[in-house]
Amino acid sequence: MLVWEPPHRLAYLWHLRADRADATEVEIAFAPAGEGATEVRIDHRGWERLGARGEPWRDRNRRGWETLVPWYVELCQGESDG
């Protein structure tokens, strides 16, 4: 854990099945976005320092988020519908 500032943001090193020396950094920030809504910003950075070998990891990671986020949005919308 690099940063822990509840309820505003957190940041951590990401090195799943990789050496810690190859870690990238994920920061997730939460901000009010109107009545009963929260904006969630995810910044995953540090890929460039891995050079060409980082690109396949980045692509896999991007596909993971593209799969995960719609499920989360659907869940949150269901909760707001009552």
Query: Taking the domains of the chain in order of start, what are their residue ranges?
Result: 3-80
pLDDT per residue as tens digits for the range 17-30: 778 888 999 999 99
pTM of the model: 0.78
Give residue 75's pLDDT: 86
Asked if residues 2 and 11 have their Cβ atoms less than 8 Å apart, the reply is: yes
Q: Is 24 exposed, middle or buried (0-12, 13-18, 19+ CB in 10 A)?
A: buried
Share above pLDDT 70 across residues of the chain, in percent, rounded to a whole number: 95
Task: Over range 28-37, report the average pLDDT.
Answer: 92
